[in-house]
Amino acid sequence: MPTSGPDAMQPALRRRRRRQGFLLPFACLSAALIAAALLPGAAFADGVTPSEARRLRDEVKDMFYHAFDGYMQHAFPLDELRPLSCQGEDSLGGYALTLIDSLDTLALLGDKERFDAAVEWVGKNVRFDINKTVSVFETNIRILGGLLSAHLIASDYATGMRIQSYDDQLLHLAADLAQRLLPAFDTPTELAIRNRPRVWTHITSTAGGGTLTLEFGVLSRLTNDSVYERVTKNSVRGIWARRSKLDLVGAHINVFTGEWTQKDAGIGTSIDSFYEYLLKEAYKAAMHYLHHDPWYVEVNMNSGATVWPLFNSLQAFWPGLQVLAGDVDPAIRTHAAFFSVWKKYGFTPEGFNLATSTVQNGQRSYPLRPELIESTYWLFKATRDYRYLDVGRDILASLQYGAKCPCGYCHISDVETHQQDDHMESFFLAETVKYLWLLFDLAAGPDNIVENGPYKYIFSTEGHLLPATPQITLLDEHCLYAGAFCNGTAGHGYGTGDSSNKHQNANSVPFDDSRTPSDQSLSNILSTTRGYIKGVCPGLTHAQKLGISYSAEEDNSIQQNSGSSENLDESHVIKSSVQAQSSSVILISHPVASQTEEPTSGRSQYNANIVATAESVGTDTAGASSHPEDLVKETESVSEQKEINDKEIASQGSQPTEGRYLT
């Protein structure tokens, strides 16, 4: 590992049964808070004004630099910062983790000088030919994802962040890293092991084995080597093939035998990001067995019996995912419930017991997680409801007054005492600050590559920005409706409609006061040259125009309905508040353009073939328990189910529907 210190870059140089009417009692939580948060147009006493949104955006930017500069001065090139003692530590592999995880945030902020210097240093100094035991999952989402995102930004003039001297150094590093991780997939089940060979465990989490395809898939497209995408797809397929008869997956699985070692199914810890890849296949079962409106519990994957009536902080990504899937109403209710926990403590604990309304023993900490902020951003983007700016302001205040410490931002070891812990994970800069900044920038009149840059961007599990470019997407299978990528092949001609302009206008919040131009404005440096042809792609089905991939079994129904679908008025599509792309890659296309529009417009009107189908959301479950005492009884009556033997696994192991993660 190079011993270069910060001087090498200074000064030119941070996760996750429906039972209608069911509401757990909260002795200490404010029921009025949850109720108020659910009222259309509800706002807190002191609503965020346009000028305050700009001030809050700048405050978040200062937050980023306080933590980033603290890392560069006191921890670099070690992995992470110890913000209380102003020291560094190697926590993942010893290759400047926080810097790599922060690269695309620097680009998002328009900090070309530091982005350039950071990319140059990483390209020259980071090497993976070292003897380290690493987490395959964390290395993938943080390091591989960070390298790929920065490469795609640094190598493209259209982003406004092109580095003249850049020669694909980060892409070469990404390929080298992925090649070294490939042995992790060499198991009898083809499921990825948790660590590299020689120092490994037989057990992997569902999220750990099923949240690898996006980064590996992008790498395959960029290098024209299909092996990376193939092995990760086999891993996620292997997990789904071993689902229970209820279409639920457990939390941990033995990668050598294929047997589930922990059969608790939920949307949070150890499973969360798996849903980002197979939401379409798994959503209906999750809502039927896990959803106690507005909360979610953990159940036995075979029986559906409640195991844990627990909210854990990683569940907080779920409302954002529901927004992207088009199921906004339950997302609003769940987000309000989750935020009520934050309001109670100032932070969300790792675990909150819904039966007792208390913090779960041993899960009292808040490690600067981004999930609630992520969902807040997506809900504001979809609804333009200003209450989410109030939420963001409260979260920012909690971080500033509870987590800020001398050299960065500290973990909170106990949400009741707000005692600080000397640790700052890299995802604080890669996700937490990023989503918070995006929220306020969107309100202030967005000036960033996500909202008005040259491409639509996919957010990875780690919040890394991956552009939906022709180089990555499969042009013969996918054509974005607004700002479409059209290659003129396979009968896909192209037109020159103005849909892209409508899309850009829809991204702006209709504030009344004038906007103060930012010194870091990207609008002046974004190149007008585009690497694709913008416009409408004729000859595509309605689904293809929306960027939705359908599973194989739906193809017949799509073909039967394509005639009427293709004739839909384009203006209806433009007004849709959110668009979805099945299985893994889900893109926002057209947020609600005006506050005066009814928030529900464009939610329940979606084509039944979209991820959140009409039959999978909004219906009640017959005989569902509606009283908290029933939940307690159900929890107490849980009995461990007999282990699934190999024969059962084989009988359940039909090949799952292939999700097109990048199309």
Q: Which residues carry out catalysis? A: 138, 272, 350, 371
Q: Per residue in 286-320, is it b (16+ CB within 10 Å) or e — as a string? A: bbbbbbbbbbbbbbbbbbbebbbbbbbbbbbbbbb
Half-sphere exposure of 368 (CA within 13 A, CB side): 32
Residue 173 CA from chain centroid, whole number: 24
Q: Please state, as a whole number, how many other Cβ atoms lie within 10 Å of the Cβ of residue 534.
A: 21
Neighbouring-strand partners of residue 252: 205, 262
Residue 282 CA from chain centroid, whole number: 17
Give the separation between CA 319 and CA 272, rounded to whole angstroms.
12
Give the separation between CA 6 and CA 71, rounded to whole angstroms.
9
Give the separation between CA 107 and CA 233, rounded to whole angstroms.
30
191 CB-contact burial (10 Å; exposed 0-12 / middle 13-18 / buried 19+): buried
Closest CA to 341 of 359, 368, 314, 321: 359
Whether 326 contacts 606, CB under 8 Å: yes
Instruction: Please report the DSSP string for 168-200 in residue order.
Output: SHHHHHHHHHHHHHGGGG-STT-PPPSB-TTS-
Residue with tokens 């039959």: 615
Instruction: Please report the DSSP string for 482-518 in residue order.
Output: TT----S-TT------SHHHHHHHHTS---SSPPPPP
Query: What is the sign of the dihedral through the CA atoms of 555, 660, 588 and 369?
Result: positive
Give the CA dihedral 73, 449, 326, 372, nearest 10 degrees: 20
Instruction: Please report the DSSP string for 356-412 in residue order.
Output: TTEEPTT---B----HHHHHHHHHHHHH--THHHHHHHHHHHHIIIIIEETTEEPEE
* Tokens encoding 75: 């921890």
Residue 91 CA from chain centroid, whole number: 23
Neighbouring-strand partners of residue 253: 204, 260
Position 558: which residue type?
I
Residue with tokens 């302009």: 501
Instruction: Name the phi and psi angles at 398, rounded to 5.
Output: -60, -45
Cis amide prior to 454 (ω within 30 degrees): no
State the DSSP code for 140: I
Look at residue 300 and give its three-state secondary structure.
Answer: strand
Instruction: Name the phi and psi angles at 440, rounded to 5.
Output: -75, -30
User: What are the distances in angstroms from CA 333 to CA 303, 350, 614?
Assistant: 27, 20, 18
Q: Is 213 known as a binding-site position? A: no
Give the CA dihedral 71, 72, 74, 78, nearest 10 degrees: 80
Look at residue 583 and give its three-state secondary structure.
Answer: coil
Which residue ranges make up the annotated binding site for Ca(2+)?
Answer: 461
- Return binding residues: 461
